[in-house]
Structure 1
Amino acid sequence: MLEYVKTILQKVSFDKILFEKELNKSISKYLKPNEVEEFRDWCYQMFNPTYPQILDRCFNHSMV
């Protein structure tokens, strides 16, 4: 599932709203808790220059 959600995020990264929606869905529905940390690291590496606020918001919310 991890590779699947990575692929989806890459495909929707052109749209800010869609990106955030899919990121939230990936964290809350598709990934197992042990996959989220690896996914977070990958997301920051790939998308931090473009969407730092979205990443912070989604991952901080998921950790609460």
Structure 2
Amino acid sequence: MLELCKSVLNGVHTDKSLFRKELIKSMSWLTAEDQLKFQTWVRNHFTQQHADVIEEILDTKYQFAS
């Protein structure tokens, strides 16, 4: 599932709205362990382009399934 989530974000990274939606969706699907790996990957690959979205989604108190 982690690799699928990475693939999806890579596919939508040019559209901020889709990126945001897919980031939220991905976080809700992943286990707590995979969420941490995914967050690190997202920050490493997309911070320059989507820092505001990453801060909103990953640095807030969103409740994700784990």
TM-score for the superposition, normalised by structure 1: 0.90
Query: Which protein has greater RCO, CA pairs closer than 8 Å, 6+ apart?
Result: 2
Query: Would you tell me which structure has more helix in proportion to its own residues?
Result: 1
Listed one character per residue, the Cα deviations across residues 17-36 of structure 1 (whole Å, up to 9, x for unaligned) are 000000001011x1011111
Q: For residues 31 and 37 of structure 2, what CA distance do their matches in structure 1 show?
A: 11
Runs of at least 5 residues in structure 2 that lack an aligned partner in the other structure: none
Q: For residues 19 and 11 of structure 1, what CA distance do their matches in structure 2 show?
A: 9
Residue number in structure 2 paired with 1:25: 25
CA RMSD of aligned residues (A): 1.5
Residue number in structure 1 paired with 2:53: 54
Runs of at least 5 residues in structure 1 that lack an aligned partner in the other structure: none
